[in-house]
Structure 1
């Protein structure tokens, strides 16, 4: 015994949690991605000092970060799911081998 126990249902629960987080990040991305301010959206004050460009740059950086976050959450969920599936497969193999010896 290695001193710890793998709880497969806990792994699956965490996979679901990661997918929920991914969905939340994707929803946030959907609200800002590609939505830029036009030259007249903030009136005269927006045209001064590059405020519109600064807002659009910030929006683009936020979208980039959210995209990376969505990708990372998806990769984490997929990796954890693979671990859970591997553990299930190993337990099934061990159970089948034990049944053969009985």
Structure 2
């Protein structure tokens, strides 16, 4: 299991390479893994989270108590698929899955 901790993220290229060598199809917690050769990620849109963070910081700087700001749950998630990694794992991605993807890396 690859979680969202910084320890794994810092070694994303090695993890993706090891998964390829061991023929392990893995869905990663961030698209950075897919950019480094991993199979696919399904993750919150980090742009949306950054925008929400900026709004929260703005509210705090304008006097809102942090405890008064509601907890935010992401609304938008992105599915990113790496076809080169799929081919290396001898996986065929269905047209339906590829159509659902927000981005397909070839």
Q: TM-score, normalised by structure 1?
A: 0.30
* Higher-strand-fraction structure: 2
- Tell me: higher relative CO, structure 1 or 2? Use CA pairs within 8 A at least 6 residues apart: 1
